[in-house]
Amino acid sequence: MQLFYRKYGFGHPLIIVHGLYGASDNWVTVAKALSDYFEVFVIDQRNHGRSPHSPGHNYNLLKSDLLEFMDEHNLQKAILIGHSMGGKTVIHFAAAYPERVSTLIVLDIAPKSYRENDQYETQANQHRQIISAMKSISFTGITDRKMLEEQLLAKIPDKKIGYFLLKNIHRNKNGSFNWLLNINALDFNLENILEGAEVTVDTMDGKITGFPVLFVRGALSNYIQDSDFAIIHKLFPYADIATLPNAGHWLHAEQPELLIKKIKEFILS
């Protein structure tokens, strides 16, 4: 699958992989800040942004898409940065193709089964409500974005999430609107997306030690808890773990300068 991408700068390749409901344009600020040091590629994963749609959406497919992208662009080795769903993608990729990774940075997601998390059902229900709200939007008779904003924000209690989702609305040349996201595919595959726990030390031939690894969590997020440190170090024994203050799950939107600083410090040190 040929993924849409944005490219900035020159140097050693660095690939940024967005999370669920995200797209490459959410990461332009981070990409441009890193482009002084690296050749930065920001991809749209399948069923997101301007990349192709498909009925399938799981981490084997996302991992294969990333491999195909690197091969297509003759990237033998790259720094990989993945957020949330994108973090799971790069973890799966690193486990399958460690020789293609020079540095791994995982943002606010842990290599574990979230079904074991006490808050799994709360998180899963939130995603189900988000997708339900998006599917309920009627584009019939819509003439401007304000009308769509009113529809969606009436159904999404968290306005930050609502405005983030609105970035996925595309206006066609004829003036009509549609979702860039493949809502039906994400809905059908939601359990696979939220799970994604096939990569554990029990499924690997050994621990992953061939490249530097950094996990970054938001201090206000519960996706990486203190109890997950042991799980991370079981798979990545030498991984560094950092916490960004005053940041929730959307690190790049809530604390972009701190995140950029942390990434630069880790890679360039």
pLDDT at 179: 94
Distance CA 138, CA 199 (A): 39
Reference 211, options 12, 66, 62, 43; nearest CA is 12
Both 95 and 124 in one domain: the answer is no
Full-prediction pTM beyond 0.75?
Answer: yes
Last residue of a domain, one of 170, 191, 212: 191
**Is residue 133 domain-shared with residue 177, that is, in the same domain?**
yes
| Token pair listed for 116 | 């074991």
| Same-domain check for residues 85 and 15 | yes
pLDDT of residue 202: 63
Contacts of 30 (CB under 8 A, 6+ apart): 16, 252, 256, 259, 260, 263
The verdict on 135 and 259 lying in the same domain is no
Q: Which residues are known catalytic residues?
A: 84, 249
Which residues form the domain of 131? 120-191
Residues 90, 173 share a domain: no
From first to last of its 269 residues, the chain has per-residue pLDDT tens of 999 999 999 999 999 999 999 999 999 999 999 999 999 999 999 999 999 999 999 999 999 999 999 999 999 999 999 999 999 999 999 999 999 999 999 999 998 877 766 667 777 888 999 999 999 998 888 888 888 898 899 999 888 889 999 999 999 888 889 999 999 999 999 988 988 766 765 666 668 888 999 999 999 998 999 999 998 999 999 999 999 999 999 899 899 999 999 999 999 98
Count of domains for the chain? 2
- Indicate if 102 and 222 belong to the same structural domain: yes
- Which of 134, 164, 191 terminates a domain? The answer is 191
Type of residue numbered 181: L
pLDDT at 141: 83
Q: What is the pLDDT of residue 89?
A: 96
110, 127: one domain = no
**Residue 118 confidence (pLDDT):** 65
Q: Are residues 157 and 105 in the same domain?
A: no
Is there a single domain that holds both residue 161 and residue 257?
no
Q: Does 202 lie in the same domain as 102?
A: yes
Q: Among residues 191, 212, 231, which one ends one of the domains?
A: 191
CATH number of the domain at 74, please.
Answer: 3.40.50.1820
The dihedral region occupied by 141, where left means phi > 0, alpha psi between -120 and 50, and beta the remainder, is left
The residues near 143 (Cβ < 8 Å, ≥ 6 apart) are 175
Question: What are the structure tokens assigned to 214, written together?
Answer: 């950094």
Q: What is the pLDDT of residue 116?
A: 67
Residues 6+ apart with CB under 8 A from 141: none
Same domain for 128 and 261, yes or no, is no
Residue 139 exposed, middle or buried by CB count within 10 Å (0-12, 13-18, 19+) = middle
Residues 106 and 161 in one domain: no
